[in-house]
């Protein structure tokens, strides 16, 4: 599963809230309703799960390369009963609803193409989602936000696992996430021109068999490009690469599918065309440099390479799915309940309402600033940024 799909679904799940409000829709997309009940349920679940909030924060930070962050989930107010959770901010609710509109667009495009998801594809999607979350939670520890509890959810240096994150959410929420990931994945494979069935993937594998070979390699790490170049020169003058690797800052050996190694290296590393026994040029990697030598290369079976084949097909369809979804968004008719904001078609997002009606503020007193004069109304304080658009109590 590649990053595009997870950018599409990072906030996806359910949609809608508070059944006692009128109208009952949070939004409609081409006539299809996103109910308030579902939005309330899902935002409530997220507000109760620090792990899931950390995942969402980390995913946004990593995918934007540290340039963007999500609005805080939890607002200032609390429910009326002991043990109630804080209300959710209107900014997060609008952001969540924006993604749910996108979720609905993906589903509708898939329906237009008669996309169906098999139980096996759902199972794969569940595994992909779990692994993706785990990867995000591991990666965030390598960034400057690694010690920020709002991102890593831990100060022990131990990454929160994908299983822990998903176990903190209701089963219905997780099932909705899995369904979306499966649908988006199959749609991307379909738009690649290859298809998503086992027969389709088998045909692609047969036509590109060498791309999925199993390779064994030795890698040597160096602190500078000059050191790596000096080591490559030693090999050129007859020093065995194994000897050079043993004396390097870090050496490693292993055998995996070629795409697995390629995924760990920059796109220009040229590992796929490196001859057996040859040593690569210095490859810049995470602030250091590596030399790589392939010691063995053997054909893989389709069963061994199936996951890598599916991933390659998804990458082939990445541009096509982005184009299809952009076109679908532009032609879509979207309406948003003004309680949650206003739909902005230019950037396909829900803009947070600046001044909600007093009747839309669920707990006026909780949103009033402590030092505010008596003349400041609850709705005005809410418009200043402390308001909530849906209760997450209970």
pLDDT of residue 242: 87
- Render pLDDT for 298-316 as a digit per residue (tens, 0 to 9): 999 999 999 999 999 999 9
Task: Kindly report, residue by residue over 116-158, the tens digit of the pLDDT.
Answer: 999 999 999 999 999 999 999 999 998 989 889 999 997 777 8
Pick 204 or 358 by higher pLDDT: 204
What is the rounded end-to-end Cα distance, in angstroms, of the chain?
35
CA distances to 132, 318, 356 from 383, in Å:
36, 39, 7
CB 369 within 8 A of CB 386: yes
Comparing CA positions, the residue from 256, 260, 307, 264 lying closest to residue 285 is: 264
Mean pLDDT across the chain: 83
Q: Where are the alpha helices (DSSP H) in 273-387?
A: 302-316, 318-331, 378-381
Could you tell me which of 131, 130, 117 has the C-alpha nearest to residue 186? 117
Instruction: Supply the DSSP symbol for 394.
Output: -
Check residue 210 and report its DSSP letter. G
pLDDT band at 5 (very low <50, low <70, confident <90, very high): very low
- Note the pLDDT tens digit of each residue in 30-49: 999 999 998 889 999 999 99
Cα–Cα dist 363/113, whole Å: 45
Structure token digits, residue 138: 């591991």
H or E segment and range at residue 295: strand 288-298
Task: Kindly state the average pLDDT of the residues 236-260.
Answer: 85
Residue 373: pLDDT band (50, 70, 90) is very low
């Amino acid at each position: 599963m590649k990053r595009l799909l997870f950018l599409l679904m990072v906030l996806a799940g359910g949609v809608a809230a508070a059944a006692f409000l009128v109208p009952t829709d949070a939004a409609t997309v081409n006539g299809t309703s996103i109910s308030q009940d579902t939005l309330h349920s899902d935002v409530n679940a997220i507000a109760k799960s620090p792990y899931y909030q950390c995942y969402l924060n980390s995913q946004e930070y990593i995918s934007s390369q540290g340039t963007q962050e999500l609005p805080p989930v939890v607002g200032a107010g609390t429910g009326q009963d002991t043990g109630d959770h804080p209300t959710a901010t209107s900014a997060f609710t609008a952001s969540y609803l924006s993604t749910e509109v996108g979720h609905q667009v993906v589903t509708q495009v898939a329906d237009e193409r008669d996309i169906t998801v098999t139980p096996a594809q759902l199972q794969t999607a569940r595994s992909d989602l779990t692994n993706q979350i785990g990867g995000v939670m591991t990666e965030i520890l390598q960034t400057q936000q690694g010690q920020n509890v709002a991102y890593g959810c831990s100060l022990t240096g131990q990454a929160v696992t994908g299983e822990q994150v998903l176990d903190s959410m209701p089963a219905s929420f997780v099932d909705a996430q899995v369904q979306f990931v499966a649908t988006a994945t199959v749609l991307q494979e379909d738009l690649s021109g290859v298809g998503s069935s086992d027969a389709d993937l088998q045909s692609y594998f047969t036509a590109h068999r060498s791309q999925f070979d199993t390779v064994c390699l030795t890698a040597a790490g160096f602190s500078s490009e000059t050191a790596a170049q000096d080591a490559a020169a030693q090999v050129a003058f007859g020093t065995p690469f194994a000897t050079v690797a043993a004396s390097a800052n870090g050496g490693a050996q292993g055998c995996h599918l070629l795409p697995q190694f390629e995924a760990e290296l920059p796109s220009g590393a040229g590992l796929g065309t490196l001859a057996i026994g040859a040593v690569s040029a210095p490859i810049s990697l995470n602030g250091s440099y590596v030399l790589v030598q392939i010691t063995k290369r053997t054909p893989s079976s389709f069963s061994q390479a199936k996951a890598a084949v599916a991933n390659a097909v998804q990458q082939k369809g990445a541009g096509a799915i982005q184009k299809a979804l952009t076109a679908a968004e532009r032609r879509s008719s979207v309406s948003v309940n003004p309680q949650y904001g206003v739909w902005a078609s230019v950037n396909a997002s829900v803009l947070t309402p600046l001044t909600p009606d007093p009747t839309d503020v669920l707990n006026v007193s909780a949103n009033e600033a402590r030092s505010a004069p008596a003349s400041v109304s609850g709705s005005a304080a809410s418009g200043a940024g402390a308001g909530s658009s849906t209760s997450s109590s209970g």
